[in-house]
Chains A and B, each alone.
Chain A
Amino acid sequence: MATFGAPATANSNPNKSYEVTPSPADSISSLSFSPRADILVATSWDNQVRCWEISRSGASLASAPKASISHDQPVLCSAWKDDGTTVFSGGCDKQAKMWPLLSGGQPVTVAMHEGPIAAMAWIPGMNLLATGSWDKTLKYWDTRQQNPVHTQQLPDKCYTLSVKHPLMVVGTADRNLIVFNLQNPQTEFKRIQSPLKYQTRCVTAFPDQQGFLVGSIEGRVGVHHLDDSQQSKNFTFKCHRDGNDIYSVNSLNFHPVHGTFATAGSDGAFNFWDKDSKQRLKAMSRCNQPIPCSSFNHDGSIYAYAACYDWSKGAENHNPATAKSSIFLHLPQESEVKAKPRVGATGRK
């Protein structure tokens, strides 16, 4: 474990967001806030897992780098334990590591796969770590045991994973969406074909566990309810588009308090939406780089997002010499993230 850096604050940004420093050397793959404190963890393609403590001073934010650990290969995902004491990370080295951050302990490997671990989530009610991999399996781990508690075979490579106990939604290649009721984790509750015609990029479960959002590379988001009686509420809407330019929806995050959600895309923009009123609450300005991941802190007062190349246009657009990876912190206004009564004909887009 290494302790590094010094506090760093604001920087220029089209949305006046605060930049977290120091910036990772390569693209950021995931961002996750502690469920208990304003501690931000970022995983990156430079094999590092970094940790900052975010503090607010008046209307501004400050970020103090605290620690970092290394994987053997790029790190793709991270997840916090519900008590906020431990953070998990997984990546291309096919390992998931448990890092007891608050206790200052050394990271230990708690999960293994036959392929890179693309997604993970902590299951609070069961004290298990769920890891999804490109090896087409989903595994449940008790961190005290070496072997997985259960291995669930998936129809294809796991791309994304979201848990709102007891609801877990897994998005795989070939546009499969598998829903699990964690009260019976060994059985697929439901398997559906994505309502979106293109590759699934991200999923996130409703805070009320009644459904999920799914985002695709086609600049479209699907709102899907699990209850058949509410199928009429299902819909899709376009976003992260600029004329004929279509960008992928890389990240979907529900606001922990207001139940609205944010979308972040390859166009470098992030927007806030209300699915119930089918309104877009706020459209933020575009950064000059794609946004591959984002996260709300525990109370929704801070929205963290990364700005870096997300490989959405392939290797040809990757220029290591000029590439810069940044993490920004946005202080959303209440009006931006709070649902408001629908008025007039303002509808979905």
Chain B
Amino acid sequence: MRVDFSEPEYRNCYHCRDSGILNTQESEPNNVIGSSITSVPVSSGPFQALGHASAAIGSTSTSSPVQSSSSFSFGSAPAATTSVGVSSTSTPTPISFLPFGYVPPPPPSSSLSGPAQNVPWSISAYSTAGRGVEWAWARPDVAVYPASSSSSSTSTVVFGTTPVSVSSLFGPSQDFPKTTFACCSSTPAPTRCECSFAKPFFGSSPASSSSNLFGPNPSTTTASVFGTSATSGSSLFGPAQHPLSYDSIGGSAFAGVKTSSPQPLGFNGATTLLPSSHEGQNISSFKPYVDKSHDELRWEYYKKEAKGGSFPAAHASPIGSKPNAVFSPSTVSTSLFASPSVPDHHQRTNFSTTLGNFTGPAFGFFPAAAGGATTFSSTGFGQPNAPFPGFDSQFPSAFSSFSTTYPAVSSSVQRPHETGAVSSPAFGCTACGATSSSSASDHFTFNGATTPPGLFFPTTSSGPMMFGTTLAAQGTTPALQTYPVQGFILLPFTAMNLHFCSNFFTFCIKLCLPNCRTKSLS
């Protein structure tokens, strides 16, 4: 559709200019034909070489020598009359094409193999020929604008640049377009040249035209090669009228050429089969995806996403395990919490109960002792300061040691007290050495307590047996409970540890039972 739309414009332009040019050509061909007769022998060689386009090439080769001589004449006579200028304007066009057609065989190879600088030189040679053509064009410019010299040089550069880009970028393909253009030039060529020349000239000032024409020339040439739409050409490259004419001619003359030309880049940098002017391009219309439907492309995308998604899936698995892991610790913590708390609570209960039981008997026992000791302590306390204070301090120690009996520390604590019991041996020594003093205190106490001193001595001498007896005595006499404590202190020192432990526990049990009974009774 776009092509259909552009064709009328092209036809109009072609028709109008072609009709105008045809009149001019009618006069020019006569002159050219005359010249061709002169150079027939020369054209035979090139003619045979380019046999596939014999008609066009024949005419081109025919005009080549003539044009060169003509160009020389114009060069030597730059101040020719206006009428001569007009005739020269038409004749140089075929000359410019003939050199391209003729020169490519030998010089391009040498220029290509030679250094880069040579290429420009060879191009300069072409440009010289072109300059000849430009001189022809320059005359009207000179006539119209004083600054034609600069514009002339600019034009020269334009023509010079075109071959460079053509030969370097698209050698063989450009040959074909050249041939195409040559073919087209037989009729519309003058129109194309005239149009392309006129528009840039009038479109901009010499200075700006110089920069514009020189700068974008390579790109415009490239664009013309890539571009397939005259509209797009004009819209993208304003000053590229000359390339535009090539494009339009190529497009109009050879659809194949147009088809083979690269498509403009479209979506995702891919070339699209639909005209670039069409927006809303379908993804499947782009070259890389032409053979894939929307669904195929989508499925490919989803699979890639799924591969990316597999990571979340894999991650989900760890997440799945993490909750379990988290749950397990919580379970463990719960169990840990439960087990420590319950035993701890139970232990505390037991401990407090035990402590309470222990305290109860202590208090129950102590008041009784205290009650009994009211008289006893006043009398005895004054007399046996040394032993009694020791007992008093040891009793609390025993109490605290009992409370801390379960921890090992209590045992160690007890040991020092037992070491403190070394004083007991001293006491014993005292009994041996200071028998009078200890005996006196004990005797005095016992006398006060109405207990025979004789019982005390047997207790001291035979610890184990007396200890048992002491316990029995404790059951019968509250005052005797004091003695068991004393006996207890002495017995560990003299008795074995194992025996001591068993006795101690027995003591505790018996100590607790009465207290319980006391409570129950109360």
Contacts and interface: CB of A to CB of B under 8 A. Distances in A.
A173 interface: yes
Interface stretch (B34-42, B287-295, B351-359, B395-403): B287-295
B277 A314 contact: no
Contacts of B274: 198, 218, 246
A244 B278 contact: yes
Interface string B275-301: 001111111110001111111111101
A24 interface: no
A316 B273 CA distance: 20
A313 interface: yes
A292 B298 CA distance: 13
Contacts of B267: 313-314
B10 interface: no
Given A45-B302, A198-B273, A313-B267, A245 B280 contact: yes
A246 B284 contact: no
Given A198-B273, A201-B293, A311 B280 contact: no
Nearest to B291: A173
Contact of A134 (B280, B294, B296, B298): B296
A312 B295 contact: no
B419 interface: no
A199 B278 contact: no
B285 A217 contact: yes
B213 to A, nearest CB: 31
Nearest to A200: B293
A53 interface: no
Interface in A281-330: 292, 310-316, 318
Q: Which of B278, B285, B294 has the most CB of A within 10 A?
A: B294
A324 to B, nearest CB: 17
B268 interface: yes
A174 B291 contact: yes
Interface string B471-486: 0000000000000000
A247 B299 contact: no
B297 A29 contact: no
A308 to B, nearest CB: 12
Nearest to B280: A245
A74 B282 contact: no
B279 A312 contact: no
Given A314-B267, A314-B297, A248 B282 contact: yes
Contact of B299 (A74, A243, A310, A312): A74
A311 B293 CA distance: 9
Contacts of B291: 156-157, 173-174
B289 to A, nearest CB: 8
Contact of A116 (B278, B282, B283, B299): B299
B299 A199 contact: no
A247 B281 CA distance: 7
B279 A244 contact: yes
A311 B279 contact: no
Contact of A173 (B282, B293, B299): B293
Contacts of B295: 29, 76, 116, 118, 311
A199 B302 contact: no
Contact of B294 (A157, A173, A243, A311): A311
A156 B291 CA distance: 10
Contacts of B273: 198
Contacts of A310: 294
Nearest to A310: B294
A311 B278 contact: no
**Can you list the 4 inter-chain pairs with the closest CB atoms, starting with the nearest?**
A245-B280, A314-B283, A311-B294, A311-B298
Given A45-B298, A266-B280, A312-B284, 18 more contacts: A74-B298, A74-B299, A116-B295, A157-B293, A173-B291, A173-B292, A174-B291, A198-B274, A199-B284, A201-B293, A218-B274, A218-B282, A245-B280, A246-B278, A266-B282, A314-B267, A314-B268, A318-B301
Interface of A: 29, 45, 74, 76, 92, 116, 118, 134, 156-157, 159, 173-174, 198-199, 201, 217-218, 242-248, 266-267, 292, 310-316, 318
17 contacts: A74-B302, A118-B295, A134-B296, A159-B293, A198-B284, A218-B282, A244-B277, A245-B278, A246-B278, A246-B280, A246-B281, A311-B297, A312-B284, A313-B281, A314-B283, A314-B297, A315-B298
